[in-house]
Amino acid sequence: MEMTVIFWLFGTVIAFTVIAIVFITTKAKWRASRMAQVAQRWNLTYQRAGSESLTSELGELPLFTLAAFGSRATISNVITGKIDGSSLTALDYAYWTGSAETRRFDYAQTVVCFHLPPTPYPRFTLYPKGGARRASIALAGALAKPLTAVAKPLSGGDERWSAVETILESESEGGIDLPAHTQLSQRYTLQGSDPAAIRRMFGRHFVESLLDFESHPLSVESGGRWLAIYRKNKLIAPEKLADFLKHCMRLQKNLSAQTA
């Protein structure tokens, strides 16, 4: 009798596992198909998986640091091209922090990236207050062990090392205040290496466009040659992707207008 119960429980666990795998796989295929349709509708290029070259380029952004270091992150559903004159790359980015043996934190978000002009933006991160700080602490903790191993090969001016430093130093630095935009300062944490230049970038039109998304606030990062805009731990539904891309383009244009 006991053996029967054990076999029944074991079979139930296997069945649930198989069902879960099938569900996740089917859901991923459905999303990939819908994202490909969106790209085709806009005459954009679609790629199911992110290439190593793209991972390396985006590694200078704090969000993509884990992708540059190995297997903790994946890039998928990559859409590239131009919309209304703006060159962009949109993608799904998933990663995890913490420990696989103890406590693990999984994140997945749709990120819109803009390759910046030859004159780079100052490095900065703009996160909604609250969960962003806890997330960056978890990320810094996840990187603590591999840092010793990667420090030497990355220390020679490698952009990925600068991204790591941005994450680690952000916990000890105070945020950059924006006296002209008190509402933004109350809701977001802004950090970066050149406060004066960053303040000049944040004009009224950019701030107003950013605050339009208060229902689910946006995060914005500049790694120098790339700008990334995303909702923390939020995948954008394929049917809403076009509107999201347009909003991100408006943000990027308003931000670049301040640097012209």
The predicted model scores a pTM of: 0.77
**What confidence score (pLDDT) does residue 58 get?**
85
pLDDT band for 238, please (50, 70, 90 cuts): very high
Check if the beta carbon of residue 169 is closer than 8 Å to that of residue 62: no
Q: CA angle at residue 167 from 163 to 170, to 5 degrees? A: 130
What confidence score (pLDDT) does residue 257 get?
63
Residue 115's pLDDT is what?
87
Question: What residues have CB less than 8 Å from 167, skipping those under 6 apart?
Answer: 62, 65, 136, 139, 140, 143
**Between 203 and 167, the higher pLDDT residue:** 203
Task: Give the Cα-Cα-Cα angle 214, 110, 200 (nearest 5 degrees).
Answer: 55
E strand spans, 50-187: 73-83, 86-98, 104-115, 124-128
Per domain, the residue ranges of the chain are: 1-41, 45-257
CA dist 117 and 115 (Å) reads 7
Give the contacts of 134 (CB within 8 A, at least 6 positions apart).
Answer: none
pLDDT at 258 over 70: no
Of the CA atoms within 13 Å of residue 169, those in its CB half-sphere come to: 14
pLDDT tens digits, one per residue of 175-227 = 888 888 888 888 898 988 788 888 888 888 888 888 876 667 899 999 878 99
Residue 179 and residue 195 in contact, taking contact as beta carbons nearer than 8 Å: no
Q: Does the pLDDT at position 140 exceed 90?
A: no
Burial of 16 (0-12, 13-18, 19+ CB in 10 A): exposed
pLDDT given at position 144:
44
| Confidence at 22, pLDDT banded by 50, 70, 90 | very low
Segment 106-128 mean pLDDT: 87
The 10 Å Cβ neighbour count of residue 150 is 17
